[in-house]
A and B are shown apart, each in its own frame.
Chain A
Amino acid sequence: MAPLLQLSGVSKRYGGVQANAGIDLRVDAGTIHAILGENGAGKSTLMKLIYGVERPDEGQVFWQGQAVALSSPSDARRLGIGMVFQHFSLFETLSVVQNMALIVPGSKAELATRIRDLGAAFGLSVDPQAMVHSLSVGERQRVEIIRCLLLNPKLLILDEPTSVLPPQSVALLFDTLRALRAKGMAILFISHKLEEIRELCDCATILRQGRVTARLDPRQGTAHDLATLMIGRPMPPPVHPTPHGLGEERLALTALSFANEDPFGVSLKDVSLSVRGGEILGIAGISGNGQQELAALISGEIALKSSASSVTLMSHPVGDLGAAARRKRGLAFVPEDRLGRGAVPDMSLADNALLTAHSRGLVQNGFINRKAERAFTAECITRFDVRTAGPQAEAGSLSGGNLQKFIMGREMMLNPSVLLVAQPTWGVDIGAASEIRQRLVAMRNAGAAIVVISEEIDELFEICDRLQVLHKGHLSPSLDVAATSVEQIGTYMIGAAA
């Protein structure tokens, strides 16, 4: 029988970058096929070619044995291809059900029921009437997945669907995907989490610099072997922070309460935390429990006019100050959504660097010092191994993981006294992720106070000194990483702790 989907010799070039070169791929019905590769290896590009968002420069796509020319995603959907994008394709000013109605036929009431049913069946519950702008990144991912499933595709493409899902949802999603596979659906699955791929996938194709470098069965061999194949060299071992002397208190929240005006947002209740120089505090918890609000309150995106003293930086009350004033006092911040809040997609990397690094001599007498701006950007690119054409590349043209490396690098190069990072390694390949973690630990050792908000428990256990868990706007007491367990954190995450 002809394979469901076959690519032969597919190539795609973006200006000077050969994103895909002569790729052959075969996907059979009833299988889950992993696509692996470093950031910028060309995975998303390949998926966009299959979904008709981009057209290949060379090569041919076959669907059920027939040569097809996909000129738009609606062609692909007609054939039975569905795709969940790495960068969300949701519309923030529309509700969940309106977003679905854009491509799924049916009345709104019908759709809302189907959304609830699918959500219940697959553990992807979302409120169909919620506005998308009020959803967390994790919830948006669920919305995207449901939108695809509503169309009953024959081939489902998932571009890093699990990078922002909490562990419980990942397990549920995998059960869903296995059930779909049993029904004969083919799934193309991109992830940087190799254990997941070994657990779920029947076969894997590894890309490096736009070319296929290996095809294998991921269940043979260890995650370590896969990693070595992917990055072309052995993986560096994880670095656990060693205990050392702590500095003075740098950041503190004292009994901070925040009533959210947004009916779909989360209100924070009586949140307290304190971070000293030389330590990493991890905020665990399933996204949508107040992470966005907490991050915004610390960064200054939300300023509380009435209670300045509920947030202190270096013992100065800053609760009423905006983001720029807090940055001036030594705070740096990496938001969870990198396109839009972390970076401006159609500005060059150099101009994006300027946005937060303007105090580093990049602006003189009100004029931009282009030379300094370029030098700063170039240094960030080399030090943090950002794969891109150079400082003049548009931020939006970087692959997801590379953009994250760039934003992390930009903030780290400011040598902040306090660094707040939300989802530091979301979508970053394992080589680069371990590098980012190493750098966070190195900053801690050099005396910085660091707060990491993450859904990845393993990551938090690897780099943090202490953990606090956010659940429904409440923050748990501080737990020493050495004296707690993944299970204990898990019970706090679902609100079951006494």
Chain B
Amino acid sequence: MTILAFILAGTLAAATPLLLAALGELITERAGVLNLGIEGMMALGAAVGFVVTYNTHAPVLGFAAAALAGLALSLVFAMLALGFMANQVAAGLAIGVLGLGLSSLIGKPLESQTLDAPAKLAIPLLADLPVIGALFEQDLVVFLTLALAVVIWAVLNHSKLGLIIRAVGENPSAARALGFRVLRIRLAAVAFGGAMAGMAGAYASTIYTPLWADGMIAGRGWIAVALVVFGTWAAGRIVFGALLFGALSLGGLIAQAAGVALPSQLLASLPYGVTILMLAVISSNRRRMRLNTVASLGQPFAG
């Protein structure tokens, strides 16, 4: 396998956990809520998903349990941020720490255990193409996630539900004056984001690297949050950012294997830095920022 084929094959899988979490956070933020607890929700989802899959040998159950765990934790966040109108930044950070702690606790008995990697699906014909064929041989979740990105883009831009979410995020009092239940819509958006973060964690721990190690999410929740902001709340740019991160992290591995004379810490941090730099350049377009920024993001709303 050539290096290019290796990167092509691995990029999508590396991007998938980021993408799942970022798409969830996209909906949450578009409704005007800033959830900084994504890292903790991913970690909790990863532990729960791993434990359930390990014991039942049913990856679907693992994903479902992880989604529920992420959702449950996001509801605690919603109770603080929406119910008690607590500062969203502080509430999100606290919930994130709680999630990390719960994750260590739940995963502890299975430290260093492994799972069987699930089979890959090859798209007929396309997968037989030279070099880029590797792109079309992935596990099911990768394909589902990409499909979901398209669905979320369509919902946000071309459906009434998407309009309502954006309206609530831009001007909650006007939305209320038109009769939309702002808090309910925000609650649903937070719950969706939590469930997505849980599944993102499950993907990381049961499919991408099917092995339990404490702290395995390693900041990917934060990257997901950054992708949403620097991707200017647009699904397409978020996908681009996630793929870029995925490709760079594989590139780093290859460079390390090839013995490039750079400290490994530097190589490991490269994808984080370059992705954020790229997205910052993209989002420096002021007009685009103005049109896409969620006006009420992070502000509590009463009633």
Q: Residues of A with Cβ closer than 8 Å to B? A: 52-53, 72-77, 85, 88-94, 98, 101-103, 131, 133, 261-262
Does A94 contact B166, Cβ atoms closer than 8 Å?
yes
**Interface residue B125 (Cβ < 8 Å from any Cβ of A):** no
B177, A91: Cβ atoms closer than 8 Å: no
Give bound CA distance, A103 to B174, whole Å: 12
- Structural contact, A103 and B178, CB atoms closer than 8 A: yes
A92 contacts B170, C-beta separation under 8 Å: yes
Q: What is the bound-complex CA distance between A52 and B180, given in angstroms?
A: 12
Chain B residues contacting A98 (CB-CB under 8 Å) are 163
Contacts of A102 in B (CB 8 A): 160, 163-164, 167, 178
- Cβ-neighbour of A91 out of B171, B181, B287, B292 (below 8 A): B171
Q: Are B179 and A91 in contact (CB under 8 A)?
A: no
- Give complex CA distance A73, B164 in Å: 15
How far is it, in angstroms, between the C-alpha of A89 and the C-alpha of B180 when the chains are bound? Answer: 12
Within 8 A of A (CB), among B147-168: 160, 163-164, 166-167
A261 and chain B: residue at smallest CB distance: B287
Chain B count of residues within 8 A CB distance of the other chain: 19
Interface bits B55-74 vs A (CB < 8 Å: 1, else 0) = 00000000000000000000
Is residue B176 within 8 Å, beta carbon to beta carbon, of the partner chain?
Answer: yes
**Is the C-beta of B119 less than 8 angstroms from some C-beta in chain A?**
no
Q: Which residues of A contact B287 (CB under 8 A)?
A: 261-262
B229 to chain A, nearest CB (A): 16
Residues of B with Cβ closer than 8 Å to A? Answer: 160, 163-164, 166-167, 170-171, 174-179, 181, 287, 290-292, 295
**Cβ of B170: which chain A residues have Cβ within 8 Å of it?**
91-94
Contacts of B167 in A (CB 8 A): 91, 94, 102
Residues of B within 8 A of A88 (CB): 174
Asked if residues A72 and B174 are in contact (CB atoms below 8 Å), the reply is no
Q: How far in angstroms is the closest Cβ of chain A from B161? A: 11
Q: Provide a sorted-by-A list of 6 A–B residue pairs whose CB atoms are within 8 angstroms.
A: A73-B177, A85-B177, A88-B174, A91-B175, A92-B295, A102-B167
Q: How far is the CB of B221 from chain A (nearest CB, A)?
A: 27
Query: Which residues of A are found within 8 Å of B291, using beta-carbon distances?
Result: 93, 131, 133
User: Which of B160, B174, B175, B287 has most chain A Cβ within 10 Å?
Assistant: B174
Most buried by A among B170, B174, B178, B292: B178
Enumerate chain B residues within 8 angstroms of A101, measured Cβ to Cβ.
160, 163
Residues of B within 8 A of A72 (CB): 179, 181
Give every chain A residue within 8 A of B290 (Cβ-Cβ): 133
Contacts of A133 in B (CB 8 A): 290-291
Q: A89-B174, A91-B167, A102-B164 are in contact. List 18 more A-B contacts (CB 8 A).
A: A73-B177, A74-B179, A75-B179, A88-B174, A89-B171, A89-B178, A90-B174, A91-B174, A92-B170, A93-B166, A93-B292, A94-B166, A94-B170, A98-B163, A101-B160, A133-B290, A261-B287, A262-B287
**Which residues of chain B are within 8 angstroms of A92 by Cβ–Cβ distance?**
170-171, 295
> Distance in Å from the Cβ of A421 to the closest Cβ of chain B?
26
Cα of A103 to Cα of B176 in the assembled complex, Å:
12
